[in-house]
Structure 1
Amino acid sequence: MASSLTCTGMIWALLSFLCAAASCIGFFMPYWLLGSQLEKSVSFGTFRRCSYPVRDESRQTTVMVEQCGRYASFQAIPSAEWRICTVVTGLGCGLLLLVALTALMGCCVSELISRTVGRVAGGIQFLGGLLIGSGCALYPLGWDSEEVRQTCGNLSNQFELGTCEIGWAYYCTGGGAAAAMLICTWLACFSGKKQKQYPY
């Protein structure tokens, strides 16, 4: 099978896929922030949530519905910071996935990835990682929203968790982005084979 990648390029393709998968899975999962409300576990992502309170009119009480789902609309996301975080992180994940799939195609298609293309792909990975990193940095700015405060013992504020804790999905997203920025970007510079010079 013809390949346009060097041995380093093969490692880059595999690592790019793993980084993109980690970031995308973490971004989609609603386990960025973990807390409890009415003695039930509650978790938040940037655009999804697990367990939410609903008013039961027949009993005149508030009950927790233990389901995961995304917010009904973009405007329903609890804070402007989380809305920006959703867009920025989503774009970053899209870029990482695009490069990862291109790199994997380079394993089986000859002359797809030259040295120049590899360096451009590395630059795109760096940008994707930077966008995801920005999203992760913006996320704590939304901890002062009413929904989060109810879940975190009314003690949370920007960059203050209250009784909540950061979940595995936040680390998964940020870790994938950091590895893409620091390792994949560097490996991409050595990923493509030197193009053959044709005599015409």
Structure 2
Amino acid sequence: MDCYIIVTCYSMLWTILTVILTLSTLYSLTSTKWLIGSERFYEERYVITAQTRPDFPSELEYRPETEVMTRSYNPTIGLYNRCLRTSAQSDYISCGSFASNIGSGHDVFPISWQVSLVLSGVASLLLFVTMVFALLSLCVRDFCRKSIFTISGLIQVISGLFYSVAIAIYPLGWSSSKLHYFCGTQVAAFKKDQCSIGWAYIGVIICTLCIFPTGMLSIKADRATSQDEIEDEILKGKRLICIK
């Protein structure tokens, strides 16, 4: 099968947007910054020795001192993971997943989050497929005798619907007792109490909103690559065709 690389303004714009949206959405979904917990304070102790005090006269005996510094941090929680300090004596922030608890009770892994995780996983798979199609569209215009652009656009709209439902039901899980540590005891469904919305949750919302116009843009890309001018260039024997 002959391969003709066809590039138009609409097809290139659609391809770039599809790749950016896919990668951005996946990055936001895997982040723990969906919810930012209330600020926590802890103490760090440092032992000051003679080696750390070069200004101290070497001929005198220096007695080590302990300096206490108060630091703060915010625990974070995502769709299926979280980051927090596991020990009061350590400044190490531990990040882990509770996706292995899928099927467990509401207080272990909120049911709405489990549903959101499944819907987001399906939507991400669909969106990844459209990214592959978008890259292939540079030299492949048909898939199973259908336009690769319109097929991809339809898949994008479907993935956007899955993401929309996943985003909408995520706040239902805030009523879980698991959130008490992060947000306070007054947290409830759609009430974040002392928590704040993280950039990752906002990022997923923005990406989801952008998926729908990107899916519609695929129609423009399909029309742009079906112009008679392109067929004329193919008949001339050109392999790389660039048209506005």
TM-score, L = length of structure 1: 0.83
Q: Look up the equivalent residue of 1:190 and give its one-letter code.
A: K
**Structure 1 Cα separation of the partners of residues 195 and 98 of structure 2:** 20
The residue number in structure 1 matching 2:208 is 177
Q: Look up the equivalent residue of 2:97 and give its one-letter code.
A: R
Structure with max Cα Rg? 2
The 5-angstrom pairing of residues 121-160 of structure 1 reads: 121-160=152-191
The residue number in structure 2 matching 1:189 is 219
The residue number in structure 2 matching 1:66 is 93
Mark the CA change 1:135 to 1:110 in structure 2 (over 3 Å): closer, same or farther: closer
Structure 1 range deviating more: 3-12 or 70-79: 70-79
**Structure 1 Cα separation of the partners of residues 5 and 26 of structure 2:** 27
Structure 1 range deviating more: 146-155 or 74-83: 74-83
TM-score, L = length of structure 2: 0.69
**3-state secondary structure, aligned to 1:36:** coil
Residue 78 of structure 1 deviates from its aligned partner by 2.2
**Structure 1 Cα separation of the partners of residues 176 and 90 of structure 2:** 20
The residue number in structure 1 matching 2:234 is none
Residue 34 of structure 1 deviates from its aligned partner by 0.7
**Structure 1 Cα separation of the partners of residues 214 and 146 of structure 2:** 14
Mark the CA change 1:6 to 1:112 in structure 2 (over 3 Å): closer, same or farther: farther
Asked if 2 retains the 8 angstrom alpha-carbon contact of 1:115 and 1:194, the reply is no
7, 11, 25: which one pairs with 2:13? 11
**Structure 2 Cα separation of the partners of residues 72 and 126 of structure 1:** 27
Residue 119 of structure 2 corresponds to residue 88 of structure 1? yes
Residue 77 of structure 2 corresponds to residue 47 of structure 1? no
Sequence identity of aligned pairs in percent? 24
Q: Which runs of 5+ in 1 are unaligned?
A: 55-60
Q: Look up the equivalent residue of 2:148 and give its one-letter code.
A: V
Mark the CA change 1:79 to 1:119 in structure 2 (over 3 Å): closer, same or farther: same
Deviations 1:118-151 (A, max 9, x none): 1121110001111111111111000011111221
Mark the CA change 1:84 to 1:16 in structure 2 (over 3 Å): closer, same or farther: same
**Structure 1 Cα separation of the partners of residues 205 and 221 of structure 2:** 24
**3-state secondary structure, aligned to 1:160:** coil
Mark the CA change 1:164 to 1:149 in structure 2 (over 3 Å): closer, same or farther: same
**Structure 2 Cα separation of the partners of residues 62 and 81 of structure 1:** 34
Which 4+ runs in 1 deviate beyond 4 A?
A: 61-65, 112-115
Task: Give the aligned CA root-mean-square deviation in angstroms.
Answer: 2.6
**Structure 1 Cα separation of the partners of residues 100 and 140 of structure 2:** 44
- How many residues of Structure 1 are paired with residues of Structure 2 in the alignment? 188
**Structure 2 Cα separation of the partners of residues 65 and 157 of structure 1:** 29
Q: Look up the equivalent residue of 1:49 and give its one-letter code.
A: R
Asked if 2 retains the 8 angstrom alpha-carbon contact of 1:20 and 1:97, the reply is yes
Q: Which runs of 5+ in 2 are unaligned?
A: 42-72, 232-244
**Structure 2 Cα separation of the partners of residues 72 and 106 of structure 1:** 35
Mark the CA change 1:72 to 1:12 in structure 2 (over 3 Å): closer, same or farther: closer
Residue 100 of structure 1 deviates from its aligned partner by 1.4
Mark the CA change 1:74 to 1:64 in structure 2 (over 3 Å): closer, same or farther: farther
**Structure 2 Cα separation of the partners of residues 89 and 159 of structure 1:** 19
